[in-house]
A and B are shown apart, each in its own frame.
Chain A
Amino acid sequence: MSSSADVFYHVAPVIGNGFTYPNETEVPWSELIVIYPYITGLVAGAFVVSSLHHVFGMERFAPISKFALLTSLCFMFFAPTPLLFHLGQPTRALNAVITPHWTSAMAAFGYVAGFYICLLLLEVWFSFRADIVGLSKSTTGVMQKVYKTLTLGSDDVSASALHADHTIARRLAMIGIPGACGLHGYVGFLFGSLKTREWWSSDLMPIIFLLSAVGSGVGLLIVIYVVACWWRKQTPDNGAMQGLLYVLWSGIVIVMVIEALEMVQMIYKAREGVEGVFDLINGPIHVGLFFQWGGGLLALLITSIMMLKTPKGSRLVFWLFVCGLSMMISVLAMRWNVVIGGQELSKTMRGLLTFHPEVFGRESLFTVASLFTAPFVVLYLAQKLLPTVWAGEELEPEERVFDIHKAI
């Protein structure tokens, strides 16, 4: 039996004579549930960038669109893992899929996540099929067998076949856009639909989750892209970086406005227990809010200056990297403030709790760090497997046929 009191403690006296319900002294959703929406957010954000090229044909994103797609897939593999670690009975996780109880928002999770993983897998396969065929013919030994298997027996690289690949991948991406919005809007709904938690119960929650996902996802792409280019001793593509700047700036502006509106609305409505909200803001989550708003404002300030000055080259890369990183930190802090903060404000609205995360253990910071590192490792392996991810899609299908033949 765990002695929860060691981990969490009751700091009730906030509003004069604070009080929480006895069962509330244990925070039900820990840091694992912070990382879950964070990872799905990164998936959605990265997917949006890849779609800007695949669906809308924005050529400036061509050098990173396949990479963005692969990033999205690698992170999506790990999106459900924090939930598994969190469950009291993880071996029964599939119960929710086998016998879903449809009045529950959570019952749809398995289907939503499963659908999205399948969609991403399909899109990745169609986007990389020509490359896989090329690799299956230019490699030898075990790797050749691996690539041959990955072609799934489809090694037609004629112009019409490549055109079909492109069309299908584009259509999948078109389905993926509402899919990504749905996936992340849905995560916001999981929280926003709970009437018991004043801090969560907001109609704006799905939209806030979705928009912050775009911000953090683009931030992640910038960070990985810059680090990968530095690692591979290459210069990041100026056009792509410029495009990422535009998307990041738009994301930050919209999400900050909506978040501010939500906060103002809550305070202005001043429903019963609003004093508890003030105490929460000034108390347990004030550091988190500092990172959330500080990171967001810093990124907004720098990107705004960059929008005006339009820097190029290493200046653009450095400052955009700073913005991407601070946006990632800001959104991570936002997830913490929402998930943990919502539970630190008692359902009595008359008391606060302070959450102390465990460092080691099943639900601990170590687990979170491991689960968050895993997608990066998988992404590293994936780009080793599919090195053409860096080639971009600047070539026309006909030219790629030539390219592949040359590889053979």
Chain B
Amino acid sequence: MNQLSSEEKMTTQDINTEKEASHISRRSFLGMLGKGAACAGAAVGAGGALASAGGGAANALGGVGPTYQQEPEQYAEARKNPPKIPGYNWTEHKWAFGVDSNRCIGCLRCVEACKMENSVQMDRNHTRTWVERYVYLEGSDHAHVDSIHDLKNVMPGSKETRFVFDNRYKNAKVTKAFFVPKLCNQCEKPSCVQVCPTGATYKTPDGPVLIDTKYCIGCQYCVQACPYGARSLNHVRGTAEKCNWCYHRITKGLNPACVEVCPTGTRIFGDRMDPESPISQFLRNNRVNVLKPDMGNMPNVFYAGIDKEVI
């Protein structure tokens, strides 16, 4: 795994607390955690105090004008002082994410890979990505929904580090069932960016919404503002936490960890500026939907095969 100049990008406190926090995880996950954390911290920190955004420029989706809920000065600052990622220009990409719900088998490898890659807290109450199971029982118009925070879906003895959907519907008459992976939607109009009082969370020109963990004050206004429940508080860092599509990986030409491990091709990732990328093809070949379109956030995660019950 390529890394950025890593640890100098993190505060001393981050490093110390990271060491404490990742003690168990590191032992359990063959040292990947520390690397992931350093890498993620570096990538996120690379933006510095700048908070980017699309001001008046044409955006990759064909629209013109301010799409992000940010200020023009921050946009100008972002253009003037881009993150120091060798060989990467964030104005040349427009990342997007696709989820083909028809393919998901609910194996939850994505959840575990994400937690390892990004040093997410190892419990069922904090996660950057998760999978929801929707089950219609015979005679019911509404789906039963459950996910990894349900204690029954935690692998016994794993101390909330491994997850598996339990077999609770074994004897029930199921008429329809499917899985829906969820993650941060990296919205075009992110409410989290709008409400951040310091500008520590910001929208990048290439799509993802990042958090500067050195600048975040941990007020959790963004956690409240996210309509999708994608954010949480990292108690170790004392700052907000959420999926950034593995920004440290995608800027190296790699896929996000969840996409990498998905055995069925449910998770699709790519550059919308490249018409032959997996995501461009996915969007071309499917009728897609986004979650909670009425919120006006314009998500960048596109779903195929989801149901009216999906929330």
Contacts and interface: CB of A to CB of B under 8 A. Distances in A.
Contact of A347 (B217, B227, B234, B235): B227
B238 interface: yes
A117 B33 CA distance: 46
B148 interface: yes
Contacts of B194: 103-104
A109 interface: yes
A1 interface: yes
Interface stretch (A84-92, A238-246, A298-306, A317-325): A84-92
Most buried by A among B224, B226, B230, B231: B224
A104 B232 contact: no
Given A194-B224, A196-B191, 18 more contacts: A10-B149, A22-B147, A23-B231, A87-B218, A88-B240, A89-B216, A89-B239, A90-B217, A92-B218, A95-B200, A96-B197, A96-B217, A101-B197, A103-B69, A104-B197, A106-B221, A196-B226, A196-B227
A195 interface: yes
A97 to B, nearest CB: 9
A90 B13 CA distance: 13
B84 interface: no
A153 interface: no
Contact of A196 (B70, B127, B196, B225): B225
Nearest to B295: A195
Contact of A88 (B142, B144, B146, B220): B220
B305 interface: no
Interface stretch (A24-32, A135-143, A364-372): A24-32
B149 A1 contact: no
14 contacts: A5-B124, A21-B182, A23-B127, A26-B233, A88-B218, A88-B235, A88-B239, A95-B197, A100-B198, A104-B197, A194-B191, A194-B225, A197-B224, A347-B228
Given A99-B49, A350-B145, A195 B217 contact: no
Q: On chain A, which size bracket covers the interface?
A: 35 or more
B229 interface: yes
A22 B233 contact: no
Contacts of B237: 88
A103 B230 contact: no
Contacts of A25: 124-125, 149
A197 B191 CA distance: 12
B229 A24 contact: yes
B51 interface: yes
A348 interface: yes
Interface of A: 1-5, 8, 10, 16-17, 19-26, 28-29, 83, 86-90, 92-93, 95-96, 99-107, 109, 194-197, 343, 347-350
Contacts of B229: 20-24, 347-348
Given A19-B146, A196-B295, A348-B311, A89 B238 contact: yes
A95 B215 contact: yes
Interface string B146-188: 1111100000000000000000000000000000001000000
A93 B51 contact: no
B95 interface: no
B199 interface: yes
A92 B217 contact: yes
Nearest to A196: B227
A109 B197 contact: yes
Contacts of B218: 87-89, 92
A4 B197 contact: no
Contacts of A107: 197-198
B143 to A, nearest CB: 7
Interface string B256-288: 000000000000000000000000000000000
Contacts of B39: none
A343 B219 CA distance: 15
A348 to B, nearest CB: 5
B55 to A, nearest CB: 13
B232 A101 contact: no
B220 A29 contact: yes
Given A22-B149, A350-B311, A101 B199 contact: yes
A16 B311 contact: no
Given A1-B235, A22-B229, A348-B311, A101 B224 contact: no
Contacts of A86: 219
A22 B197 contact: no
